[in-house]
Chain A
Amino acid sequence: MAKYLLKRFFLMLPTLFGVALVTFVLIRVIPGDVVELRYSGDRGAVSQEVIDQERHRIGLDQPVWRQFFTWLAGIVRLDFGTSMWTGAPILQEIKLRFALSLQVAIMATIVAVVLAIPLGVLAALKQDTWVDYAVRIFSIAGLSMPSFWLGIVFILFLLIVFKWLPPMVYTPFWVSPRENLAQLIWPALAVGYRYSAVATRMTRSAMLEVLREDYIRTARAKGLVQNLILSRHALKNAMLPVLTVVAIEFAFLIGGLVVTEQVFNLNGIGLLFVQAVAHRDYTLLQALVMLVAGMFILVNFLMDAAYAWLDPRIRYR
């Protein structure tokens, strides 16, 4: 087991290096740079002297390979540098937004799991009945609607019916739980619903598969009660693929709520991504991509470890 995990761990490093290289090259292919953008604003007539001075200050006048290795050397020391737009340390910029994104991701996951698992199990048990059809319609609707669109509908509904809008400024949960939830419950519902649709379908299909297994038939033949068969034998085995979906979606939510965060004006990682792209803030964008890639890779590693723990066939393969 330890050898397997070690092997999986070291496989993460070339993946991260690949992500770093591709990210670094790709964002420099996009035309324009942070200096042009910052100083060719409304007047559009800043002198070349200012442009050159600023390029030199943030190191954009250095050869690209040197910029890459300087950045890479920083990453090894966990120093992501400073934002080219604000000049603030990147870790500080990310830390500021991470709590909000993490909370939305956790809340959306709770919404998704609370909806998906009972509905998926119910749909599998009542296959091809009206219950199954209703659950399938509910989940297909969730898959079809982008979460940002649902967010806009929530906002319009609240504005038109209740003449009320969620708070625009983030309040940490420990400062005011009420204010915090009043702001974050809506994006969590919008995102959680779409997220639950994926998980519901996965739960249903996994349950259907497991319920047809020999050991379930055996359990039934032995006279075990239905609830015990479901909870002890079926659901536990059906949860492996569901957990994978839930975990990968969770990793995605940390930086993937790009439009939803804009709709609700949430000061999270997704909005920071948008700003970093819009400002051509190379250093910040590189760090954000590394963060999200790191989250995915870490979640995958943990899932692999969980699989290996749950299913011995994997670690001995």
Chain B
Amino acid sequence: MRRRPALALVSLLLAVLVAGVLPAAPQDKPRAGGELVFVVPSEPPSYDAHQEETFGVMHPMAPHYSTLLRVDPTDKTGTKPVGDLAESWTISKDHLVYTFKIRKGVKFHDGSELTSKDVKASYDKILRPPAGIKSLRKEAYESIASIDAPDPSTFIVKLKYPESSILLNLASPWNWIYRADILAKDPHWYEKNVNGTGPFKFVEHVKGSHWVGKKNPDYWDKGKPYLDGYRAIFISNSSAQVAAVRGERAMIQFRSFSPPERDQLVQALGNKIAVQESPWDCLNFVSMHHEKKPFDDKRVRRALSLALDRYEGSKALSRITLVKDVAGIQVRGTPFATPPAELEKLAGYGHDIAKNRAEAKRLLKEAGVPDGFAFTFKNRGIPHPYEPLGIWLIDQWRQIGLNVKQEFIEASAYHPMLKRGDFEVAMDFQCGFIVEPDLDLPRFVTHSDANYGRHKDTVIDDLFSRQGRSTDPEERKKILRQLEKRLLDEEAHVIYTLQWHRIVPHLAKVHGWTITPSHYLNNQLDTVWLAE
């Protein structure tokens, strides 16, 4: 074979060019400067994330703080832990001891240096809050036996038993690291003040109006953040939010817009707007009261799930509201999601809807439920996606001969109603901050405070416990599939509807931000930059 040196040279040159020897296109290279203006539909009740539950805290305030670990800001699944204040870590062979090396030279915004003592004090507050202090997520850390800071750059977490989700749990966006000295003097200090180690320093908060942050020049990740600052504008009215982006008074709203709002923005702004979409780790599912007839009968519960044409429902509902994917117990595309072939085997997930509904009718008849049986479905009085989903469910159940009346309960009275068990069938809801079975599924174990349907199932309890302690991902997947089959099919304790769908349109000049399945993630803004 003849050699062609000229061709080889050209190929080499091309390869070098492609590899990036030439400068990247302007839009690919982060540009420093500018102020990001974004809309926040809610507002922080207090400034202490350990004690709060709303994204109204996370969106404007996360840029001021760092966490021990964080979820990789470039990972679309939002399930990959990377170091934030932890430079590296090691795991003992028995998976019981996690040793983290804390970055050196990290400074709080007041100029003091961060050490492992601060990490420990923050986790002490989360795991064992002092009297008068709440910690909303301490139950998620029951596996932790002890924490320790033997030297300024080492933080050690010891577990009572192996827990496969512990790293992701330590990457929780809520676990901001506070200064130990301040917490020792006044554990309430962070409720009204800000002092973190994050990429942006606090400038001002005008209640009901806006929140402003400016670049932290001492941020440990040199070269970042790219922005000079940011301004979060609080706008609760959704039309005003859309108008703010449309009028270019704001560049992005990080929670989500609805499909019609997205379409309106795209139509008005054309190529000035970009849209990122993702399955959302939020879900509406149907709880059936297991102590009320006929919902104590699993045949009835299965029939209610079999009646749903989820695939057609997805097509119709995703045009008008915030739901889309047909999914199992985990968000599509994430490590423990159900493969489509397996999903179709679950009751109500097959594509042959006529067959499903015939089976549903047979089950109802077998359970002694008469044609035209009436019950009340309680739904939360929130327009999206509760109302369209409720209407869809009622229509689906009507098609197997059930006569369902919908009753809307005002949002603040809804949770107490569920807790009292004052329902036959009700819409339930959940939103996670990281897609992880240990975080998404605890409510389905028998003794959970949120087991509103009051099912008693030791098999589920056992499967949940086993999956959490399994350190082999493949084995964990197998256990999760068993749990899913029991929860949604064999016992049909609850009925999953459709996965929420997150839609974030933003001005095309906003770069460096990647959508994830959670609106609680990726809010530090250190990677975000503006093209002009």
A76 at the interface (CB under 8 A from B): no
Q: B518: shortest Cβ distance to chain A, in Å?
A: 10
Report the Cα distance A164→B282, complex, angstroms.
Answer: 35
Tell me which of A32, A96, A262 contacts B207 (CB under 8 A).
A96
Are B244's CB and A265's CB within 8 A? yes
Say yes or no: A33-B412 contact (C-beta < 8 A), given A50-B134, A165-B246. yes
Contact between chains at A53 and B246 (CB < 8 Å)? no
Task: Check if A42 sits within 8 Å of B430, measured CB to CB.
Answer: yes
**Does B45 make an interface contact (CB < 8 A)?**
yes
Contact A167 B412 (CB under 8 A): no
Chain A residue at minimum C-beta to C-beta distance from B248: A165
Q: How far is the CB of B163 from chain A (nearest CB, A)?
A: 19
Q: Determine if A169 and B449 form an interchain contact, defined as CB atoms under 8 angstroms apart.
A: no
The verdict on A57 contacting B410 (CB below 8 Å), with A97-B208, A163-B247, A168-B233 known, is: no
Contact B239 A31 (CB under 8 A): no
A46 touches B45 (CB 8 A): no
- Decide: B449 and A47 in contact? CB cutoff 8 A: yes
Whether B525 is near chain A, meaning CB under 8 Å from some CB there, is: no
Of B207, B239, B431, the residue contacting A42 (CB under 8 A) is B431
Stretch at the interface among A83-91, A129-137, A245-253: A83-91
CA distance in complex: A264, B450 (Å): 39
Alpha-carbon distance A57/B46, docked complex (angstroms): 15
Given A50-B136, A87-B191, A265-B235, the answer on whether A42 and B243 have CB atoms closer than 8 Å is no
- State whether A170 touches B412 (Cβ < 8 A): no
**In the complex, which of the residues A39, A170, A271, A275 contacts B53, with contact meaning CB atoms closer than 8 Å?**
A39
Contacts of A179 in B (CB 8 A): none
A304 within 8 A of B: no
CA distance A275 to B240 in the complex (A): 16
CA distance A165 to B207 in the complex (A): 22
Known: A159-B246, A265-B235. A45 touches B53 (CB 8 A): no
Interface residues on B, range: 35 or more
Q: How far is the CB of A61 from chain B (nearest CB, A)?
A: 15
B429 within 8 A of A: yes
A37 and B240 in contact (CB under 8 A), knowing A45-B443, A45-B450, A164-B247? no
Contact with A along B505-526 (1 / 0, CB 8 A): 0000000000000000000000
Q: Using an 8 Å CB-CB cutoff, how does the interface string of B361-379 with A read, 1 for contact, 0 for none?
A: 0000000000000000000
Q: Enumerate chain A residues within 8 angstroms of B244, measured Cβ to Cβ.
A: 165, 168, 265
Interface assignment of B237: CB less than 8 Å from any CB of chain A? yes
Which residue of chain A lies nearest to B451 when distances are taken between CB atoms in the complex?
A45
**B237 touching A88, Cβ below 8 Å:** no
In the complex, chain B residues whose CB is within 8 Å of the CB of A36: 412-413, 415-416
Which chain B residues numbered 442 to 475 have a C-beta less than 8 Å away from chain A?
Answer: 442-443, 448-450
Which of A45, A158, A267, A275 is close to B448, meaning CB atoms less than 8 Å apart? A45
Contact with A along B28-52 (1 / 0, CB 8 A): 0000000000000000011000000
Inter-chain contact B431/A43, CB cutoff 8 Å: yes
**Once the chains are docked, how many angstroms separate the CA of A88 from the CA of B243?**
30
Is the CB–CB distance between A32 and B240 below 8 Å? no
A87 to B416, CA, bound (A): 23
Pair B240/A264 contact, Cβ less than 8 Å: yes
A145 to B132, CA, bound (A): 51
Q: Separation in Å of the A104 CB from the closest CB of chain B?
A: 15
Is A70 among interface residues, defined by CB-CB distance under 8 A?
no
Could you say which residues of chain B place their CB within 8 Å of the CB of A37? 411-412
The minimal Cβ–Cβ distance linking A161 to chain B, given in whole angstroms, is 12
- Does B276 sit at the interface, judged by CB under 8 A? no
Interface string of B45-66 (1 = CB under 8 A from A): 1100000011100000000000
User: What 5 additional pairs, Cβ within 8 angstroms, besides A168-B244, A262-B240?
Assistant: A30-B412, A96-B208, A159-B243, A165-B243, A165-B248
Can you report 20 residue pairs joining A to B where beta carbons are below 8 Å apart? Answer: A30-B412, A31-B413, A32-B410, A38-B45, A40-B415, A42-B282, A43-B432, A44-B428, A46-B449, A54-B134, A85-B45, A88-B207, A169-B231, A169-B233, A262-B236, A262-B237, A263-B237, A265-B237, A271-B236, A275-B236
Interface set of A (CB-CB < 8 Å, partner B): 30-33, 36-48, 50, 53-54, 57, 85-88, 93, 96-97, 152, 155, 158-159, 163-165, 167-170, 262-265, 267, 271-272, 274-275, 280
